[in-house]
Amino acid sequence: MKRILTLFAVVFATVLFAQPQPVKWSTSYEVQDPYIKVIVHADIEEGWHLYSQNLEDGGPIPTSFYLDTSSAFAPLGSWSEGEPHVEYDPNFEMDLAFFSESADFTILLEPKETDFTVKGELEFMVCNDEMCLPPTYVDFKTEIVDAPLPSPWDGLGTTFWLGFLGGFAALIMPCIFPMIPLTVSFFTKQSKTRGEGIFKAAVYGLSIIVIYVGLGLAVSLIFGADSLNKMATNPWFNLAFFALFVVFAASFFGAFEITLPSSWVNKADDASNKGGFLGIFFMGFTLSLVSFSCTGPIIGSLLVEAASKGSLLGPAIGMFGFALALAIPFTLFAAFPSWLNSLPSSGGWLNTVKVTLGFLELAFALKFLSTADLVWQAHMLERELFIAIWVAIAFMTAFYLLGAFRMPLDSPVQTISVSRMGFAMVFMIMAFYMLPGIFGAPVKLIAGFPPPEHYAESKNGAYAQPMIQVVGEGSEATVHSAATGEHCPNDLPCFNDYEAGLAYAKEVGKPIMLDFTGWGCVNCRKMEENVWKDERVHERIRDNVVLISLYVDERTNLPKDEQYTSEVTGRKIKNIGNKWSEFQEVNFQEVSQPLYVILGHDDLTPLVEKNAYNLDVDAYIDWLDRGVAAFK
């Protein structure tokens, strides 16, 4: 009733007291590399109040912003404002937040292009001590020139550091660590001056980098970024890597030694005796071949991780980090030979490192097996069993480090060093942390690695909701089930077919949220377990949109009469995954997952910008809210 009287007073004031608008608006921007800060400024005449964006229901209409979507930029969060003045208003009988004289509203944008236009519409209402003016809509617009673009290398930073850590791990393996003093000694003895020794060692290190970066480039050029991305979810590819990693783990445990053909090593070693730069290069190549039994599993893991991100440069950048970690010690110790005295002597600790990495290899091998199981929907390795195996591996690693048992190549353990005990504690803590995950706990630290919660013997019921929605009111209300999707993340009501979901969305009058996902998509699981599990996100997806989860690696065959050859890509569409993968690529020009798109009912034009992997919960909520608002 109070709101109705307020609006009546607004209309009455408009008729009797028509006057110029007491608020003048202007728009500008600032460059905050690598972002753009858009500023909408309000100059307010004396005596008038412009209200905050954040008001309770029942009062005046808050200031609201509606930003036009564009492929040229992506909003980061929602609109912010300065500190408003808060005062009790007897007319509305509530505390109101408002601005006097002036106000600034800002939003951060991530530019995708250097020059573009930012525009939209804002709604506001102003009052003075005598009356309120009706809500007013104003367009705002600003031209962005020379916006800073993010470096194409930024997204590869993680890949580089993973490679660097992998190289460091390889460096302290028994295949490589003992070669540091031997190689450095060779260069210093074969060189007439110290400077020549340092130079040759630097060339040796550079040769190692060239060899491994060349391997990464070869992988990218042979297969291509798109093919590598698809191979990462191919069940046969994952099974092959599972078997390979198990073999490598067994080798690390001491069951056997993996070596490349001796003829390769002999030829590379002969070439290294030629002298000159070519000889030094083949010395690096010989190191790569001889150390394969130690570096192979690490390189394989790194290449798969880099390739699964779909970046053409990913494998090369990963190999650069790996090789850099290997090359730096050789060069530094050649420059400062006295540092060799500070290195720990070779011994049983090197094999301990190797066995520990063997346990880790075994754990990661399980991820490849899980991906194949998920894609085939075989339900042989569900969430409980996966976590149980990881718990067992963590306990076994901790007991091994504490000396409870020895592997075939281990030396007797007389005492436990402080560092060894520290690592044992880390594995023990992780084991106890993961243990409740067998019984349904979220265990977010390993999110993305185990199968999703709905791929389990018993689903986690913490977020289970009735799969029923009511359409209409009163006697005409009808009950409809949204439980047509067999694979719905977090027990959310969903569809696994676009046409079925569209029909239902039209019936209930809600926007569509497309979720392009995959059984083998690690980042999809991380989003579902770290972002979608947030109660605010879960509630919005459940209540405000119609979720359509499309699995691009689903291997279930389409009926014969629905199989076809794409007129756009030329590919044969035989199974459900083929269908939704092409649907994503053709309509949204994306091939990676996860991809989230909010749509209306009329076409496939996104209502707001597309969203992808981003663990910022508040930003995801803002994106959902803007999508629903755009639909309304």
Q: Between the CA atoms of 276, 280, 285 and 291, what dihedral angle is there, to the nearest 10 degrees?
A: 150
Last residue of a domain, one of 322, 343, 364: 343
364 vs 501, residue with greater confidence: 501
- Please state the pTM of the whole predicted model: 0.53
**Which strand ranges, in their side-by-side order, compose the sheet holding 35-44?**
23-32, 35-44, 102-111, 73-81
Residues 444 and 507 in one domain: no
Task: Identify whether the C-beta of residue 180 lies closer than 8 Å to the C-beta of residue 343.
Answer: yes
pLDDT for res 354: 82
Is the pLDDT at 4 greater than 50? The verdict is no
How confident is the model over 527-538, as pLDDT tens digits? 888 899 889 999
157 and 116 in a common domain: no
Task: Mark residue 464 as left, alpha or beta (left: phi above 0; alpha: psi -120 to 50; beta: remaining).
Answer: beta
Whether residue 491 sits in one domain with residue 372: no
Same domain as 320, residue 185: yes
Reported as a single tens digit per residue, the pLDDT across 86-128 is 988 877 788 889 999 999 999 988 888 888 999 999 999 898 8
How long a stretch of residues is the chain? 632
- Could you tell me if 189 and 310 lie in one domain? yes
Query: Whole domain around residue 372: which residue ranges?
Result: 349-456
* pLDDT, average across residues 490-514: 91
Peptide bond into 34 cis (omega under 30): yes
User: Model confidence at 195, in pLDDT bands (50, 70, 90)?
Assistant: confident
Both 436 and 296 in one domain: the answer is: no
pLDDT more than 70, % of the chain: 79
What single-letter DSSP state applies at residue 189?
A: H
Q: Which two tokens stand for residue 238?
A: 């994952």
Gap between the Cα atoms of 290 and 124, Å rounded: 72
Choosing from 343, 371, 398, the residue where a domain stops is: 343
Asked which of 427, 456, 485 is the last residue of a domain, the reply is 456
Query: What is the tens place of the pLDDT at every residue in 575-595?
Result: 888 899 889 888 888 777 889
- In the predicted structure, residue 177 carries a pLDDT above the cut 90: no
More confident residue, 291 or 465: 291
- Torsion angle in degrees (nearest 10) through CA of 531, 533, 536, 539: 120
Q: What is the CATH number of the domain that holds 114?
A: 2.60.40.1250
Q: pLDDT (tens digit, 9 = 90+) per residue, 366-408?
A: 988 988 888 788 889 999 999 999 999 999 999 999 999 988 8
Least confident of 24-28, 163-167, 450-454, 461-465: 461-465
What phi and psi, each to the nearest 5 degrees, are found at residue 205? -65, -40
pLDDT in tens, 617-627: 999 999 999 99
Please give the pLDDT value at position 434. 94
SS (H, E, C) 193-260: CHHHHHHHHHHHHHHHHHHHHHHHHHHHHHHCHHHHHHHCCCHHHHHHHHHHHHHHHHHHHCCCCCCC
More confident residue, 390 or 195: 390
pLDDT band, very low/low/confident/very high, at 597 (cuts 50, 70, 90): very high
> Looking at the 3D structure of the chain, how many domains does it have?
4
Q: Are residues 381 and 480 in the same domain?
A: no
How far apart are alpha carbons 428 and 424 in whole angstroms?
A: 6
Query: Is there a single domain that holds both residue 113 and residue 212?
Result: no
Alpha-carbon distance of 71 to 113, in angstroms, equals: 8
Q: Provide the CATH number for the domain around residue 513.
A: 3.40.30.10
* pLDDT greater than 60 at residue 260: no
Residue-wise over 178-214: b if at least 16 C-beta within 10 A, else e? ebbbebbebbbeebeeeeebbbbbbbbbbbbbbbbbe
Residue with tokens 């229901």: 57
* pLDDT value for 142: 94
Q: Are residues 471 and 557 in the same domain?
A: yes
Q: Are 204 and 353 in a shared domain?
A: no
Q: In a 10 Å sphere around its CB, with 0-12 CB exposed, 13-18 middle and 19+ buried, how is residue 440 labelled?
A: middle
Same domain for 298 and 366: no
Residues 199 and 310 both lie in one domain: yes
